[in-house]
Copies of this chain bind each other. A is one copy, B any other.
C-alpha cells in the first residue's frame, strides 16, 4: 500500500475541514486506491504541528484551538521542507498582491518533488505560468479546483469533461456573495448597503466585503481560468471589472421595468487578437440561462466547437464544499 503524507498550510475554517475530511476518508482511500493517506503536518503563520506517523484529530484540534501567538522562531518553509510530505494542500489567506506565503510554499513544494493542491488564489493569480512550469520541470501536479469556484466544476469542465474540444468562450456567476446581494436588491428592493449588511449577518459576506463586492473574487477566478485553461498571459489588473456598489435602487427599478435581471458575470472569450476577459455587471433578460441562478448559487456556461454549449449550475459555497473540492483534486493525484 502506497503511503501519501499530506501537509496543510493555512489552518482556518477551510483547512480544518480538509483535515476533518481526510480523517473521515482514510479507510475509503485505502479501500479504493490502496492509498494510506496521512495528514502529517498543519501550519499557520503562528506555528506548525507535525507528526511523522500522522496527526490524530485531537492533536490538530488542540493545535487549532491554541491562541495564535506567533512563534518568532517559526519558519513555514523549513517546516514544509522537514515534513517530507508528498502533497501540499495550501489553504491560507488569498494575497492577490504578492501571492503571500502560499506562493512561497507551493514553489518550495514543487522543488522538493511534492504535488500541490491550492484552495487560496493568491499564488495562482500572481504567477500561474511560473508555477505551472515549475510543476512540469519537477514532474509533479498543480491542482486548482478549490481556487476556481470549488464545488462548481470549472477547471475540470474545461480540461477534463471537454478534453479535445475547442472551448471558444465561457461566462460565469463565480461569486456567490455578489449574486446574493444582487438577488436581494432585485427581489426585495434592498439597497446594496442593506443587502451587503444582510449578507454579512448570514455569514455570506466578509466583515470587509470589498474583495467579493467590488469584483476582485470574480476577476481572480477569471484570471486563473484564462491562464490555466485558455493559455492566456493575463494579469489581474488587465481584467476590467464592475463593483456591485455601482448599482443603485434606480438602476434596479429601471431593469425591473425592462424585464431585465442584473448579474455580475465573469467572461473569457477567444478573439482574433487573443483572449478577452472581463467582469461586468450585465442586465440579462429572462431567457438567459443565468436568469434562474439566484441567491448564493454559482454557474458557468461554456461554448465549444463540437460538443455544443454546456451550462453548469450549483455546488455549495461553504468551507466543507471547498475542502471537498480540494480532496477531489487529491483523488485525481493518488489515482494516477
Which A residues are closer than 8 A to B by beta carbons? 21, 25, 28, 151-153, 156-157, 160-165, 289, 292, 306-316, 320-321, 323-325, 327-328, 330-332, 335-336
Contact = CB atoms under 8 A, between A and B. Distances in A.
A306 B289 contact: no
Given A163-B328, A327-B164, A312 B315 contact: no
Given A164-B327, A324-B164, A332-B163, A151 B316 contact: no
A313 B311 contact: yes
Contact of A325 (B307, B316, B331): B307
Nearest to A324: B306
A325 B25 CA distance: 31
Nearest to A313: B311
Contacts of A306: 21, 316, 320-321, 323-324
Contacts of A311: 311-314
A162 B313 contact: no
A313 B313 CA distance: 9
A4 B316 CA distance: 40
A152 B162 CA distance: 10
Contacts of A164: 21, 25, 28, 324, 327-328, 330-331
Contacts of A292: 289, 292
A325 B165 CA distance: 9
B165 A161 contact: no
Pairs A-B, 8 closest by C-beta atoms: A308-B316, A151-B307, A163-B331, A310-B314, A311-B313, A153-B161, A306-B324, A163-B328
A210 to B, nearest CB: 26
B151 A308 contact: yes
Nearest to A145: B161
Given A160-B160, A161-B156, A314 B309 contact: yes
Contacts of A307: 151, 315-316, 321, 324-325
B156 A328 contact: no
A243 B245 CA distance: 52
Contacts of A163: 327-328, 331-332, 335
Give the one of A151, A307, A311 with max B CB within 10 A: A307
A165 B312 contact: no
Given A21-B306, A309-B314, 18 more contacts: A21-B164, A28-B164, A151-B310, A160-B161, A162-B328, A164-B324, A164-B327, A164-B328, A289-B292, A292-B292, A306-B316, A306-B324, A307-B315, A307-B316, A308-B316, A308-B321, A311-B313, A313-B313
